[in-house]
Chain A
Amino acid sequence: DGGITQSPKYLFRKEGQNVTLSCEQNLNHDAMYWYRQDPGQGLRLIYYSQIVNDFQKGDIAEGYSVSREKKESFPLTVTSAQKNPTAFYLCASSMTSGSRETHSDTQYFGPGTRLTVL
């Protein structure tokens, strides 16, 4: 059963704690992405990775960190430096990234993790 999985579905964090959100895909996709979505808002790109052991900052990377040690996995750590982390976090993957006119760039999303800071 191919797809993208995210865990946990719901996560509660105390202020000052770091937490790590999991994202795994078995689609053999090269590129993976993390987005943040706030209520009534669009998607904002946090980090993305086009190949293993390489990643780039998105529009709102401050207070977040990622790693890409395996093709299948792209975990996101929300650090205590992120001042307002309560949001819906979405992971996505695509076969490649940014190649115009190739539809291998279609992004597919995981089910999301809803993070709440207590």
Chain B
Amino acid sequence: QKEVEQNSGPLSVPEGAIASLNCTYSDRGSQSFFWYRQYSGKSPELIMFIYSNGDKEDGRFTAQLNKASQYVSLLIRDSQPSDSATYLCAGFEAGNTPLVFGKGTRLSVIA
């Protein structure tokens, strides 16, 4: 069974620091990965996706993909208390199937 693994946390960082969220996946055929943010009691919202090895930046967010190590991460620079949420990583299984989601990492940014 294809899996996406995340540390459940909580990950606590001080305001203004860099938060680093990590995700590993079991399917070497997986090509694309997605990061979602979910506030408590709300539905997930897309932050960004990445499909090429290397880094992809969008504002304060940087996604990093290392296919050789089967590892994807999300960096949040200048973390704010409003970034406190659960972050879900998702990737493709091989073949014509839906995204596979990790269980999420809870981030707490301390003011």
Q: List residues of A whose CB falls within 8 A of some B CB.
A: 31, 33, 35, 41-43, 45, 48, 50, 58, 90, 97-101, 103, 105-112
List of B residues within 8 angstroms of A99 by Cβ: 96
**Residue of B whose beta carbon sits closest to that of A114:** B41
Known contacts being A42-B102, A101-B31, is A111 close to B43, with CB within 8 Å? yes
Q: State which of B29, B44, B95 has its C-beta within 8 Å of the C-beta of A90.
A: B44
Query: In the assembly, what is the distance between CA of A97 and CA of B100, in Å?
Result: 12
Q: How large is the interface on B (under 10, 10 to 19, 20 to 34, 35 or more residues)?
A: 20 to 34
Cβ of A107 to closest chain B Cβ, rounded Å? 6
Cβ-defined contact, B31 with A112, below 8 A: no
Q: Which residues of chain B are near A106, meaning CB under 8 Å?
A: 34, 46, 49
Residue ID in chain A nearest B6 by CB atoms: A42
Say whether B45 contacts A109, CB under 8 Å: yes
B98 lies within 8 A of A97 (CB) = yes
A97, B96: Cβ atoms closer than 8 Å: yes
Which B residues fall within an 8 A CB radius of A?
29, 31-32, 34, 36, 42-46, 49, 51, 88, 90, 92-99, 101-104
User: Interface majority SS on B: helix, strand, loop or mixed?
Assistant: loop
Assembled-state Cα–Cα distance A33/B99 (Å): 10
- Residue pair A109, B44 in contact (C-beta under 8 Å): yes
Chain B residues whose CB sits within 8 angstroms of the CB of A42 once the complex forms: 88, 101-104
In the assembled complex, how far is the CB of residue B27 from the closest CB belonging to chain A, in whole angstroms? 11
A33/B42 in contact, CB under 8 A: no
Q: Are A110 and B43 in contact (CB under 8 A)?
A: yes
For residue A109, which residues in chain B have a CB less than 8 angstroms away from its CB? 36, 43-45
Q: Are A48 and B32 in contact (CB under 8 A)?
A: no
Nearest Cβ on chain A to B15's Cβ, whole angstroms = 25
Query: Bound complex: CA of A108 vs CA of B96, how far in Å?
Result: 18
